[in-house]
Amino acid sequence: MIRFFCLNVPQIRILFALLLAITIATPSHAQEPDVQKGKSLFNMNCAACHKLNKRAVGPALAGVSEKYDKEWLYSWIKNSMAMVKSGDAQAVAIYEEYNKSVMTAFPQLSNEDIDNIIAYTDYTPPAPAVVPGAVATQATGSSDANSTLLLSVLILVLVVLVVMLFLVTKTLRKLAIANGIEIEKLSSKSKRTPLWEAYVKNSFLVFATVIFLLFSSAYFAYGYLMQVGVDQGYMPVQPIHYSHKIHAGANEIDCKYCHSSARVSKHSGIPSLNVCMNCHMNIAEYNGEEDLEKGYTKAFYTNEIKKLYKAVGWDEENQKYTGETQPVKWVRIHNLPDFVYFNHAQHVDVAGIECQKCHGPVEEMEILYQYSPLTMGWCIDCHRETNVDLENNEYYEKIHAELSKKYGVEKLTIAQMGGLECGKCHY
């Protein structure tokens, strides 16, 4: 039986680059084992249970050719259980060591394939030449300095201008006194009513201003009050830095793979940790893209995976569950009040709405936040505009025919189906 396993995309990408360098550097030979082929075979057949430098379900495979005879490896890979049953000492030893877990037989692999895989496991990549980090930091540092400099120059110019202006008036005054010109003329203005007094005396203007102020403050007060309890953009720090960007974005995992109850229940459900372990049993470290500016390094992500292991009680060393669990206390982001009934299944399954319609571009969110306001107006707007999806749903057939006749329309909105009635959501 052939089994296909998920490949870790970033991991492959890096290895691919390295291997490309090698293939260019060393001219390939027909008889020589092909490291690149070996890599793809390894990923396809072995990576689910083996890692190169670390024990997983099975042993680490780097340097495996030094430990075992080649012929022994051929027969072991093609049918390991036969060897165990025949009582081969090495085979039995390894079988015992790994908790008697049976290795899948690979009769479809030829000796050449196995050679390629072994070549890949024996291959040691050359050390990376350049670390580009230092240059980048310097560059950002200088741009910062530039803007500060520009700012201080501007301020200096301004100060100089102010001082000059002051000096000019002073000189002019002195000149005037010297020439005997009356400066008192200016004070004759004081006999005129000052502007503020005129304003105060004009009751209409005062009234208009007061009204304006009242209305504008009411407007802002209303705006302020209306956003109370609306947590759009709420982005709390979670106990485990779980990146939807990596899972739903880079790895393109379907939302409903983890949030499976969204299809059947009112809750979308936060996946239980055993769902995480479906994949993370084999993915113990992060090898994808990094965002160094924000500190999301590979080590950072790998550490988050360790947090998961700790919570679920997974002993990575021995590839066993310890039974010591610590449930993860996620911070809930989408909080509908108790007096609203919302059902995911109705929207996800019956209506067939994309999760993103309400939850936004989750696949781009490094940290998840509340995308929509989740206010009643927002719900109602959608119910007014959206047509009911009737395809192949016998439930709607009769009611739709009758209603569309009644309203004289081809397609019915949810509002026309009664989706605006209070009691549909409030009970």
Partner 1 sequence: MMNQKKYWKSTVELDNANEFVDDLKGREFVDKLPEDAFLGDEQTLNDSKTNRRDFLKYVGFSTAAASLAACEGPVYKSIPYVVQPEEIRPGISNFYATTIADGFDVASVLVKTREGRPIKIENNKDAPVQYSANARVQASVLSLYDAQRLQGPTQSSSPISWETLIEQTRQQLDALQDDGAEVVLLTQSFASPSTQQLIDELKAKYSNLKHVVYDAVSESHALDAFAQAYGQRVLPTYDFSKAETIVSFDADFLGDWQGGGHGPSYAKTRIPKKENGKAKMSKHFQFEANMTLSGASADKRVPMSASQQQQVLAALYTELTNGVATSDEATQNMAKTVAKQLRKAGKKGIVITGIPTVSAQRVALAINEVLRSEVVDTQHTTTLRQGNAAEVGRVIAGLNSGVVQGIITVGVNPVYTLPNGNTFAEGVAKAKFSMAFSMKNDETASKTQWVAATPHYLESWGDVSFKSGHYGLTQPTIRPLFDTKQFQDVVLAWLGKDTSYRDALTAYWKGNILGAGSWNKALHDGFFIQSASPKKSKYSDVVIDAVSELRAANVSGFTLNLYTKTGLGDGQQANNPWLQELPDPITRVTWDNYLTVSKSDAESLGLWNETQSDGSLNGGLAKVTVGERSLTVPVLIQPGQAKSTFGLAFGYGKQAGLKSEMQVGVNAYALYNEFSHVQPVTIEAVTGKHEFACTQLQNTLMGREDIVRETTLEIFNTKDRSHYNAIPVVSKNHIETAVTSPEVDIWDEFDRSVGHHFNLSIDLNACTGCGACVVACHAENNVPVVGKREIRKSRDMHWLRIDRYYSSEETFAGDNQTVDEINGLGDSLTTFTSLEEPSENPQVTFQPIMCQHCNHAPCESVCPVAATSHGRQGQNHMAYNRCVGTRYCANNCPYKVRRFNWFLYNNNDEFDFYMNNDLGRMVLNPDVVVRSRGVMEKCSMCIQKTQKTILDAKLEGREIVDGEFQTACSSACANGAIAFGDINDETSSVAETLKSDRMYHLLESVGTKPNVQYQTKVRNTETS
Cα 316 from Cα 321, distance rounded (Å): 9
| Residue from the set 11, 65, 282, 343 that interacts with partner 1 by CB under 8 A | 343
Shorter beta-carbon distance to partner 1: residue 72 or 342: 342
Q: Minimum distance between the CB of residue 260 and partner 1, rounded to whole angstroms?
A: 8
Interaction between residue 329 and partner 1 (CB under 8 A): yes
In this structure, are residues 366 and 245 in contact, taking their beta carbons and an 8 Å threshold?
yes
The DSSP secondary-structure symbol of 77 reads H
Instruction: Look up tokens 């793979």; give the residue.
Output: 257
As a whole number of angstroms, the distance between CA 61 and CA 52 comes to 5
- 207/341 with CB nearer partner 1: 341
Q: Is 99 one of the binding residues for partner 1 (CB under 8 A)?
A: no
- Which structure tokens are listed for 140? 């950002």
100 binds partner 1 (CB under 8 A): no
User: End-to-end alpha-carbon separation of the chain, Å?
Assistant: 53
Tokens of 366: 């490094």
Q: How far is the CB of 323 from partner 1 (least distance, A)?
A: 10
Asked if 225 touches partner 1 (CB under 8 A), the answer is no
Among residues 88, 304, 316, 349, the one that binds partner 1 under rule CB under 8 A: 349
Strand partners, 413: 387
Stretch that binds partner 1, among 38-46, 113-121, 367-375, 386-394 (CB under 8 A): 386-394
Q: How far is CA 185 from CA 173, 174, 177, 196, 319, in A?
A: 13, 16, 13, 22, 96
Distances (CA, A) of 345 to 261, 397, 416: 8, 20, 21
CA–CA distance, 133 with 301 (Å, rounded to integer): 19
Closest among 114, 369, 137, 143 to 237, alpha carbons compared = 369
User: What does 273-296 look like in DSSP terms, one character per residue?
Assistant: HHHHHHHHTT--S--S--BGGGTB
Residue 310 C-beta: closest distance to partner 1, Å? 11
Query: How many whole angstroms separate alpha carbon 1 and alpha carbon 107?
Result: 9
Three-state DSSP class for residue 313: coil
Q: Which stretch binds partner 1 (CB under 8 A): 53-61, 109-117, 143-151, 321-329?
A: 321-329
Is 254 in a helix, a strand, or coil?
coil
Q: Which of residues 244-303 bind partner 1 (CB under 8 A)?
A: 261, 264-267, 269-275
Question: Which has the closest alpha carbon to 58: 48, 69, 68?
Answer: 48
Which lies closer to partner 1 via its Cβ, residue 158 or residue 340? 340
Q: Would you count residue 422 as binding partner 1 (CB under 8 A)?
A: yes
Q: Which of 122, 231, 290, 316 binds partner 1 (CB under 8 A)?
A: 231
C-alpha dihedral sign at 272, 248, 4, 317: negative
| Residue 328 binds to partner 1 (criterion: CB under 8 A) | yes
- Closest contact distance (angstroms) between CB of 408 and partner 1 is 14
**Is 332 an interacting residue with respect to partner 1 (CB under 8 A)?**
yes
* Region near partner 1 per CB under 8 A, out of 16-24, 72-80, 367-375, 417-425: 417-425
Q: How far is the CB of 396 from partner 1 (least distance, A)?
A: 8
The site for partner 1, by CB under 8 A, has a size of 54
305 is an interface residue for partner 1 by CB under 8 A: no
| Contact residue for partner 1 among 327, 352, 377, 408 (CB under 8 A) | 327
Which span sits near partner 1 by CB under 8 A: 1-9, 24-32, 184-192, 389-397? Answer: 389-397
d(CA 111, CA 38): 12
Window 168-197: contact mask with partner 1 (x via CB under 8 A): ------------------------------
Which residues make up the interface to partner 1 (CB under 8 A)? Answer: 229, 231, 236, 261, 264-267, 269-275, 311-313, 325-332, 335, 337-339, 341, 343, 345-346, 349-350, 392-399, 402-403, 406, 418, 421-424, 426-427
